[in-house]
Structures are given as C-alpha cells and as structure tokens.
Structure 1
Amino acid sequence: MAFLEIDGLKKRFGSVEILKGIDVDLEKGGFLVLVGPSGCGKSTLLNTIAGLETITEGEIRVDGRAINDLHPSKRDIAMVFQSYALYPNMTVAGNIAFGMEMRGVPAAERQKAIDKVAKVLQIGHLLQRKPSQLSGGQRQRVAMGRALVRDPKLFLFDEPLSNLDAKLRVDMRIEIKRLHATTGTTIVYVTHDQIEAMTLATKIAVMRDGEVQQFGTPAEIYNNPTNIFVADFMGSPAMNLVPATIGGNGSGLSVVLQRDGREPISLPLAKPPAGLSAFQGKPVIFGVRPEALTDPEGAERNASNIAAADCHIEVIEPAGSDTFAVTNLGGKAVVARLRADARIQPGTVTPLAFNLTKAVFFDPATENRIL
C-alpha cells in the first residue's frame, strides 16, 4: 500500500484549471521528485499536499488517511522553502528549536533533538551563529534541521537549491541524498532541474501544463520516455530527436536519415517496436541519446544492435571526461558523446556508431512514443 496517494487531484483558480487530474503515489521512505518547466503546476501540487492551497476535486491520503480537509498544522508534514525562512534574530539552535518551544517541548528534550539533527547535518559548530553569519549552503542545512527535528510523516522541499551557485547545488544534492539514506524519511521534492530529479528520486513525476506526462523511476523516465516532451526535457545533453523515415524490405525495417548534399543513412533495426511496422514509408521522430551515438571503439560491447555510418563532424566540444561532436542529420544538429581521447576533428567525415538497442521512435502527429 502506498504511503502518499494523490487521486484525481484538480485545482482551479476561478475558471483557470491549474492541476488537471493528478494521479501519483509514493511508498514509505520514498523520494518523489516533481519536475517540469516553470508554470507547470508542480509548486501548486506541493502546496495542496501541505494544505497551503485547497483542492477543487480529488483526494490526498497520507498513511491511509485522507488529509484534504485537515488544517496544515494537523497534517504532520514539514516543509523546506526555497527562501529558507529563518528568523534573523535567532541563533541556529534557536531556529531549530523554535517550533518545539511553541509546542511546549521541555528544554532538555529540545536540546537532545537539536544535538541529534546537528550531528546528522554536520552543523554542530554553527549552533550559536545567526543566519547572517552563514553561507547559503549552511542556511539550507539549518532549514532542513528545523524540519527534521519535528520528525514528521512527510517532508516537502520546494526548489530548495535554486538560490545556490552551481558547485554548492552539487554539494547540497549529495547532502540531501545522504540525509534521505540516513533517516529513511519520505520526501516530495519540487525542482525544474532535471539533474536534481535524476540523482535524488526513487520516483519522478514529469509535469507539463498541470498534467503528469510520465510517472516512474528515473531509469524508466530516462530510457523509456512516453512522449517527445519527456524525451527532450529529461537528460543533459538532451535526447537527439531527428526527423526520419521508416524503410523496409523483406528482411526487416530500417531507419532512414537524410543528410545535406549526401546520400541518406539507412540503419537496420534488429528488434524494432511492434508498432513501427505501421509506419513503413512514413515519417517518424527518431530518438537517440548522445551516449548511444559514439565513436565505434567506444560503443557498448554488449549491445545487440549497433550500426555504423559516416557522418560529417561540424563542431567538437571537449568537456574533460567526454568529447561532444555535433553532426547534422535530418536537418537537425545531432550530438554524439565520444571518449575524451577520441581522435576526431571538425570538418572531417568519420564513422559514428548508433546503439539502436537504445533508440526510441515517436509519432510526429501525436508526439507519443511508438510501442
């Protein structure tokens, strides 16, 4: 039985429907990330769970209990905000203990709880400082400590890392991952950063225009996107989405890619999706991630369907651990991820290996994946 259940949830502001029937669930101790572009409804959904927004239709249950009509203070939920929301006149210890003090928790018990979360978050040396004396990452740890000390049933994080610089975001992602592993807490986390979603989540809900486009594990979302939006949104660099045609003969199907001024590339498909046969001679969108398009020496050895083709390299982007090469297929720039030491130069024609085992195909009319 799921610990958090959201069934048919809708939210309207006047005549405008912001959430259009959300259905997601999360196991106890799970980490659900709500991800999507700005304005997709993810923060509104988080606020309905917290009780900061009422819902128009549907039901939210935590541990089998409907919480729709409960006041936020009665839901046993703790929220960590983007802005940290620390009291500037209080010390770190005072900020962490404030909620307990308001609830009449004895001083000795408060101190024990402060010491416990300070150890988990490694902020024991900061307890007597004021928020103005802390870095952004330290303030975020204090905000998490204030939530942790309550020991609630559910934690909600609303874009907690968006105010931090790039390196600190990476450090804090690790801290949040460690916190989840250490405490076994159940977390719902909102972000527009798909890297945060992939690295933190046990389940991801990809949202767009108030609807869940796909709900699943990070591997399911990344490897088996349900439509073009999910394929394009999740992944960095994004999946290559190339206009193509499905060719065929007596021996099977192939994907045909046009090239400017040169003969098209025809890549044989060993085990195409069953639905792809209906598109023979018709246009499709061919999806292949950069790591599935590489130099032949770097291709995955265990893949059952590797096809090589000569490609004109337009741009090379050295990136330390990888080298990215840009070619043009189907009238679009296509990114290949090569080994760091791959000997390749812009302006040359070189063979690239397509791992068609990991290729996906989309119907250009509906933008849904062809299964």
Structure 2
Amino acid sequence: MRDAYVVGAGQSDFGSFPDESYRSLFETAFDAAVDSVAGSIDTDNFDEAVVGTLGVGGRQLGLSGPAVTEHVGLHGVPTTRVENACAASGYAVRQAVQAVKSGMADVVLAGGVEVMTDASGDATKYWLGVSGETEWERLSGTTFAGVYAQMASAHMAEYGTTREQLSHVAVKNHAHGADNPHAHLGFTCSLEDAMDAPVVADPLNLYHCCPTTDGAAAAIVVSEDVVDQYADEALRVAGVGAASDRVGLFQRDSYVNVPASAEAAATAYEMAGFGPESLDFAEVHDCFAIAELMAYEDLGLCEPGESGAFVTDGRSDYGGEVVVNTSGGLKSKGHPIGATGAGQVVEAFKQLTGQAGERQVEGATRGLTHNVGGSGGAAVVHAFEREEVGA
C-alpha cells in the first residue's frame, strides 16, 4: 500500500459563536488547512472528502457532509459523512488515509464540525446522551458525566487513584490551553481551583469535565505519489488503528479501562513499527479527567494503575516522558464533538512542522492522536512521524 501524508491542517477557534453556522465554521477550518499547505492547492485538486459530525441539535441531519464541502467549493467531489459520536472526525481521517493507501484517491479532505452551544442545557445533554447506550443508560437518566464518574470510582477503588490526581490533569491541560489561541477555555487554573470546583457527578467536579463547544477542523491527506507537489516536509501517517466495543458501560467486564483504545493503539503501533516509548507528544481524548488517566494506561504510556502518579510526577508534561495534550486537550481547547478528532490532527501537524508556538515540543519527530466515541464504544489512533519528502 502507498504511504499517506498530512500536508495541511487547520481549524476554527473553538468556543461559543452565536453568529456562526456549521457552514461558516467549516469554511474557516478549510481555509486554514489550505493556507497551511506549503505548495499550491485549490479545490480542483481534491478527489474525495470525509466529514465527521454528530449533528447536535438536529441541524442538517442528512447530507451534512455535502452541505459543508459544497459550501467551500468542492463541487462534485464525493463526500461521505461519518458519525461515530465523539470519534467522528478521527474516523474521517482514518477513511481519508484508507482512500489514499488503497489508490482510489491522491488528495482527500478529512474534517469535522459541530455547533453545540445554541441549544438549551437539557437539549445538549440529550444529544450528547444519544452516543451512550440508549435503553439502559440514557433512558434511565444516566449522563456521560455519570458514566465516566462510574469509571473514575472504579479506578479509585482498584488503583487508589485520587481526586487530587484527577485535578492535576485539569491544571496541566489548562496551562497548555492558555498558550493556544484557538482554545475555548484558554486560561490557567490552580490545583485549589480544580479541587474545590462544584461536583458534577461524584467524584467528578466541574474542572474534571470538558466544555460543550462550537468548532470545525480539517486535514489534507495526500498520497506518496503527489506529496512532493505540496510539501517539503510532511506528517507521514505511520500507523492507524481503530476498534469498537460494547456501547454500554454496564455491558463490559471492567470499568477501569477502554479496551477499544488499547486495541486501536496496538494496531497503530504495529503498523508504525514504533511504540509509545518513541512518542514525543500525544493528543488524547480527555472528555473527563479520568479519561486521560485511562488513556495513559490504554496507550501504553504507563502501566495499569500508574496513571495518577504519571501526571502528578510531571511525566506527561513538558520535560517529562511524553507531553500529553499540548493543545489543552478537550478540557481546555474544547470538545466540538464532530471536530475533535480532526482538531487533534491539527495539533499534531503544528507540532511536527514546528508551528506550535509557545506549545512547541522541542525536536518533536513522532506523535499520536487518540479519539474516543462515547464511553469507549469506538476508538481510533493515528501515529505520525515527520518526514522530509523533498520537492
């Protein structure tokens, strides 16, 4: 199979934008992605497009993919909409890579978009809840915060994880997000702030939960046959893995990990030919603080039960073993469901091309993105490495 490369990536700001639409947000991300390509690229160069979105609030449930790609001028380009809850655009990137590797396309747009802040709190909880198990979780009143609270409680009981360790995740990610001009919650917080916030679903409090967010992100994936037309230096998609699992938490054997994440990571590492010890940074799916701790373990960054110490000892921060969520993660950068996975790839592109500004991981050559749907019903992992491709 041919190699696939990311030659451009961009995003809108993430936040609350009452004057924007899903089309205008996607246009901002698309334009930023095109502008980031070193060589010349225009709408005529695209062979295919894949767009991830949940369609929160009921807007344009059908044909939302063509609605945004036609808006940005990709006339006639076949467009597929992917819905895999919070992993929608991570899977969109995966499908773009598959199209390129298979030889069916040379240039593919992969992106995502969501508008979440124009609905009431009750409506937003409903639309978030549809990504959970319907009969026995959502219809019985269980929220996603409640599901992840169960996972946090189980992790605490099995490994001795503490609320203070959960709070360190928030402190770290807010510190990173404060240097990200696109972040929804781009401010720092103290450990005291994160410890003393109001409880949302015990043991999780407000600072342990990501915000609901508007935003869009896009990445341009090309084949090895044309990469030198667009870049001298690009991200090679070294490995990609994906997996599914039971949608309902109650259907699983354990609450302390996300098996789909571990399976997806194992596949990505095997394809890439390198493992977690080679990573300089990782963008992981921290919809709740416990999700980041479990990701450390599922992705092999540390052993099971060691994630609490991993964050408090600074091993996931600058100067540590691997810098996690340089963008601020979902916690600080924000979580526009359909745009989150592609947004992680935007951060990987910036890090591996030396364009991350104050967030730059010095000398970064390899990184990973990890995107989860629901409470672990789907997961997708991409491993990237910087490569000089010549012109």
Q: TM-score, normalised by structure 2?
A: 0.23
> Greater helix share, 1 or 2?
2
Higher relative contact order by CA 8 Å / sep ≥ 6: 1 or 2? Answer: 2
- Which structure is larger by alpha-carbon Rg, 1 or 2? 1
